[in-house]
């Protein structure tokens, strides 16, 4: 159930309606399974489900998902910063612990980390009061040739992709220049410092960026 709530949050944040087809694609499950779970979530008063249209959070659903996401992203950052766990492994580990940590442990982790705003992949960590520090960003694949960019967030669900990007030094905060866009969803050529990389379109879709301010 928690995975569905997180998926709805990831796709529509707190207030946007999310279609069942989008959820099925994101979670890589059958549409019928999504429909059944959406009905169950509606019965629990966590979402409003409209057949053939999708779901939106109720206030109770918003409160629950913010707590789940806060736990998950704090754990990810604690594993990375305090324990040195590589960024491609923290998501899977956080999945195991997000449902069981106490509020006291959550607050202790937050204090040790200095009440952080973002997890290792650049995703915002909700505050205790429910505020989310959203950053303006766009998909890397939607940017133009010659754009000077800074990496804002990377999808954390594929550990192999994270390892691949890590080997290239592409993390949140990395400055890159989009040099070449191959046609027909071909690879993107990026410059980062003195290095040049060719990044496949599917991999590039997982990266969100913002334009660098003029220096």
Catalogue all structural domains in the chain, each as residue range(s) with its CATH number: 2-57 (1.10.10.10), 138-211 (2.30.30.90)
50-94 pLDDT, tens per residue? 998 999 999 999 999 999 999 999 999 999 999 999 999 999 999
pTM above 0.85, yes or no: yes
Q: What pLDDT is recorded for position 52?
A: 87
**Model confidence at 43: pLDDT above 90:** yes
Beta strands in 58-193, from DSSP E residues, in sequence order: 138-139, 148-154, 175-181, 188-192
Residue from 165, 182, 187 nearest 174 by CA: 165
- Give the Cα separation of 140 and 147 in Å (integer): 10
For tokens 């324990």, the residue is 83
Residue from 25, 16, 3 nearest 205 by CA: 25
- Give the Cα separation of 22 and 17 in Å (integer): 10
With pLDDT > 70 as the criterion, what percentage of the chain qualifies? 99
Contact 122, 153 (CB under 8 A): yes
Contact 151, 172 (CB under 8 A): yes
- Give the Cα separation of 4 and 69 in Å (integer): 12
- Give the Cα separation of 41 and 108 in Å (integer): 31
For tokens 């590039």, the residue is 204
Tokens representing 149? 């960019």
Confidence of residue 214 (pLDDT cuts 50, 70, 90): low
Name the packing angle between helices 2-12 and 59-81 (round to 10°). Answer: 90
Residue from 167, 191, 166 nearest 178 by CA: 191
């Amino acid at each position: 159930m928690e995975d569905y709530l997180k998926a709805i949050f990831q796709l529509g944040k707190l207030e946007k309606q999310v279609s069942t087809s989008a959820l099925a694609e994101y979670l890589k499950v059958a549409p019928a399974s999504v429909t059944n779970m959406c009905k169950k979530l509606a019965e629990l008063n966590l979402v409003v489900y409209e057949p053939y249209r999708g779901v939106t959070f109720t206030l109770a659903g918003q409160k629950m998902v913010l707590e789940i996401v806060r736990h998950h992203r704090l754990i990810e950052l604690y594993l990375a910063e305090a324990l040195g766990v590589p960024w491609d492994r923290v998501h899977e580990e956080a999945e195991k612990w997000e449902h069981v940590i106490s509020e006291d442990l959550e607050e202790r982790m937050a204090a040790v980390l200095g009440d952080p705003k973002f997890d290792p992949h650049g995703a915002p960590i909700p505050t205790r009061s429910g505020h989310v520090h959203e950053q303006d960003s766009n998909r890397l694949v939607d940017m133009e040739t010659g754009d000077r960019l800074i990496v804002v967030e990377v999808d954390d669900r594929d550990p192999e992709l994270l390892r691949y990007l890590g080997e290239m030094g592409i993390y949140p905060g990395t400055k890159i220049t989009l040099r070449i866009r191959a046609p027909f969803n071909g690879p993107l050529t990026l410059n980062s410092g003195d290095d040049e990389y060719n990044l496949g379109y599917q991999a590039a879709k997982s990266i969100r960026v913002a334009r660098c301010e003029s220096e």
